[in-house]
Structure 1
Amino acid sequence: MLRTLGLILVALSLAGCTPPPTARLAAGTPLETVPAVDADRYLGLWFEVVRADHGFERDCDGVTAYYERREDGDIRVINRCWKNGLEGEFDLAEGRARIVNTNSNAELEVSFFGPFFGDYWIIDLAEDYSWAVVSEPKGRYLWILTRDPQPGDAFIEARLAELRARGFNTDGLIRPQQWNSIEDMPRSGLPG
C-alpha cells in the first residue's frame, strides 16, 4: 500500500514539473500584464476562442467564462463547456477569483478546488473590453477571450502575431468550436 502511494506521489510530482505543450519561448524574462484593469468592466460573459492545451479543458467546445462580484468582494467564476462538440455533454465548473495586485487589477488568482489558487494574469486587453488575453507569470497557459463568440479569423491572427512577438509559441493552440452568436448560446449554468 505504501509503495503504491509512493509511486502515485512520484508520478504526480513529475507531472507537475512538465510544462504544458504551448508555452512562452522566452520563459526567463518576466511576463508583463496590462497597466490597469477596471474590474467592474471586466465582469460579465466571455467566450474562449483560443487556448493552450491543458488537461482541465480537454475536449471542451463552446467554452465560456462568466465573472460577477461576490458579497465578500471576490469574483464568482462560472466556466462552462460542452464535451466533444457543441451538442456534447454539458460541463460546469464554479470557482472564485481574487485580485492580487490592486494597483493594476491585472493579476488575479483563481480557485476551483478549495484553498488551491492558480495565477490569472491579464496580459492584453482591448480598450473597449471586447477582448482579453490571459496567461500566468511564466506564460505556460494561454487564453484569448472575446465578448463575441465569432470574432473572425483576422482578429485571431492579429492576436497570435502579437503573442509571437512577445515570445509565445503559438503552434498547437486550440481553437474550440464556438456558438454562432450570443443568441444561439444555451443559458445553462448562467445566473438569471
Structure 2
Amino acid sequence: MTTARQFSILVCVFLCAVVAGCTAKPYTVEPVTDFDVSRYTGTWYEIMRLDHRFERNLTNVTATYEMLEDGGLLVTNRGFNRKSCKWKTVTGKASFQQGPKVGSLSVRFFWPFAAGYHVFELDKENYNWAVISGSNRRYLWILGREPSMPEALKQHLIRKARADGFATDKLIKVDQGPVTCG
C-alpha cells in the first residue's frame, strides 16, 4: 500500500472518529425515553444557555422543529445580534440516534459535521420545557414554549443540570425582550 493511500485511510478514520465523537453525550446524561417527537415540534424559546461562539451576542433566540417525511426533523435556529443589528438564522436536519422514542438526536447544520442533541429533562405532561445537552458539558440549553419561565422552575432545572456536572454558574439568561440595536 502506498504512503499516500495509507495517509488517506488514516485521515478518513480520523474524520469518522471526530464526526462520531461530536454526536456523543456526556456520560452523566441520560436522554429521556417515551419521547413524542410530534409534541416536541414547534417553536421553543431559549431561556438560558452556556455561552459558545456560534450564539455569542444573540438575544431573542428560538429553535423551531418541523417533522420531515423521513422521520427526521428540520431545525431552524434564529437569534438577533444587537451589536450588528441583524438576525442570524441557521437551518439543519436532526435524526434520531436511538429511534424516535429516545430524545437523543444528531443535528447537522454543516456537512459533514454533526452535533449531539440530547433531551435529558422534559415536561412529559405538557412539553412546556426541556433541558438539552450537547455532546459534552460545554453545551447546555434550557428551553421553554414561552419567552419566560417561572423562577422556581428555572432554579429546579438548573439544580438538575448542576447534579449532572454542568457549570451552571456560567449559564447566561437569554434576553427575549423587544428587539433593539446597540
- TM-score bucket (shorter structure): 0.7 to 0.9
Q: Which residue of 1 aligns with 2:139?
A: 141
Unaligned runs of 5+ in 1: 1-15, 17-26, 186-192
Q: Alignment identity in percent?
A: 38
Is contact 1:31–1:137 with CA below 8 Å preserved after alignment? Answer: no
Q: CA deviation at 1:165?
A: 2.3
Say which structure is richer in helix.
2
Matching residue within 52, 58, 61 for 1:60? 58
Paired letter, 1:63: V
Distance in 2 separating the partners of 1:73 and 1:161: 33
User: For residues 32-111 of structure 1, what are the structure 2 equivalents within 5 Å?
Assistant: 32-84=30-82, 88-102=85-99, 104-111=101-108
Is contact 2:115–2:135 with CA below 8 Å preserved after alignment? Answer: no
Q: CA deviation at 1:106?
A: 0.9
Correspondence 1:120 to 2:117: yes
Say which structure is richer in strand.
2
Paired letter, 1:83: N
TM-score, normalization by structure 1: 0.73
Is contact 1:64–1:80 with CA below 8 Å preserved after alignment? Answer: yes
Q: CA RMSD in A?
A: 2.3
Number of aligned residue pairs: give it. Answer: 155
Distance in 1 separating the partners of 2:132 and 2:79: 18
- Cα–Cα, structure 1 residues 113 and 130, in superposed 2: closer, same or farther, change >3 Å? same
- Cα–Cα, structure 1 residues 113 and 166, in superposed 2: closer, same or farther, change >3 Å? same
Paired letter, 1:131: W
Q: CA deviation at 1:33?
A: 1.4
SS at match of 2:173: coil
Is contact 2:94–2:107 with CA below 8 Å preserved after alignment? Answer: yes
SS at match of 1:174: strand
Distance in 2 separating the partners of 1:150 and 1:103: 28
Q: CA deviation at 1:152?
A: 2.8
Unaligned runs of 5+ in 2: 1-17, 19-25
Q: CA deviation at 1:66?
A: 0.3
Distance in 1 separating the partners of 2:119 and 2:90: 21
TM-score, normalization by structure 2: 0.77
Residue by residue over 1:65-93, the C-alpha shift from the partner in whole angstroms, topping out at 9 and shown as x without a partner, is 000012332210111000027x9311111
Q: CA deviation at 1:139?
A: 2.5
Paired letter, 1:108: L
